Amino acid sequence: MQPTSNGQQLRARTFRSMGTVVSLTVVSLTVASNTYADTAVDELESAVEVVEGIFAKLDHAFSLYRRGSEASRLARGELTLADASETMRDLYAEASEWRLATEGAFTAERPDGRLDLTGIVKAHAVREAAMSLRALGLQDWCVNAGGDVLVSGSPDPATHDPWLAGILDPLDREALLGAFPLQSRKALATSGSAERGDHIWAVGGARPEFVQASVAAADIVTADVLATAIVAGGTRTLDLVAAKWGVAVLAVRPDGELLATPEFRSAA
């Protein structure tokens, strides 16, 4: 993106983790003096290193593609939850609470009964990354983990404009369905019924009522879990989610019909 007239520039770095690509974008000042620009780049390089480390560590423990991972050993029954790491137990507890709250639409158990926390671990990694970025003193940034977005501040701190996230059309991955300004709700997560690894299972094995659901919430785990729950649970869960959590939702039916809460409609 071109530097804006205010001398702000977005700088992005990416890394691969959890089977997808994570992008970290920060705002840096571009002033005539190269000193500032260099400092900003260094700041970004160290920030991305920290974030990548968080993802790598969690992926190492939670990946079901890695035979020797803690999660794989749990799934095979070689390790019991009681003997698992604190992070594993905490995330399991969190996933269980979400299962209750969403009336079973979100679950960390696969149809074969095996434990699979991969549906929540990516959002957890983003949440952890956010804490580190704040600790590093960064205020204006955007983390995009394979389509799930968490932002802080503004892409242009001079104007305080909110970060604007486009939402992909599930029927045409080069087109956007629309956009959402991440203002009071800083997190936007999207789940699809045909997504990687098919980690969403429609309740009762029925054909999903939605091919995609996007949820904007104050925090990334809530957004991610509820987007997943809506795709799995259909209209019933969509109504439950909108009423119970007050999040913004944009859902797409297989025929392309859209359902949206008021926040997703244009102001006009």
Binding site for other proteins (CB under 8 A): 1, 9-14, 16, 19-21, 23, 25, 122, 142, 144, 146-149, 151, 155, 163-168, 170, 173-174, 176-181, 188-192, 194-196, 212, 214, 238-239, 242-243, 246, 249-251, 257-262, 264-267
Question: What does 63-111 look like in DSSP terms, one character per residue?
Answer: -SSSTTSHHHHHHTTSS-GGGS-HHHHHHHHHHHHHHHHTTTSS-SB-T
Select 102 or 144, whichever has its Cβ closest to other proteins: 144
**Least distance between other proteins and beta carbon 19 (Å):** 6
Taking the CA atoms of 166, 169, 170 and 172 in sequence, report the sign of the dihedral they define.
negative
Select 87 or 261, whichever has its Cβ closest to other proteins: 261
Whether the Cβ atoms of residue 158 and residue 9 lie closer than 8 Å to each other: no
Select 131 or 171, whichever has its Cβ closest to other proteins: 171
Select 181 or 254, whichever has its Cβ closest to other proteins: 181
**Least distance between other proteins and beta carbon 74 (Å):** 22
Select 15 or 36, whichever has its Cβ closest to other proteins: 15
Please give the torsion angle defined by the CA atoms of residues 228, 229, 232 and 236, in that order, rounded to the nearest 10 degrees: -140
**Least distance between other proteins and beta carbon 93 (Å):** 24
Q: What angle do CA 97, 106, 172 make, to 5 degrees?
A: 145
**Least distance between other proteins and beta carbon 246 (Å):** 6
Among the residues of 113-249, which ranges form H helices?
118-135, 220-245
Unique residue bearing structure tokens 């990354």: 129
Helix (H) or strand (E) holding 249: strand 248-252
**Least distance between other proteins and beta carbon 33 (Å):** 21
Number of neighbouring beta carbons within 10 Å of residue 104: 14
Select 85 or 159, whichever has its Cβ closest to other proteins: 159
**Least distance between other proteins and beta carbon 257 (Å):** 6
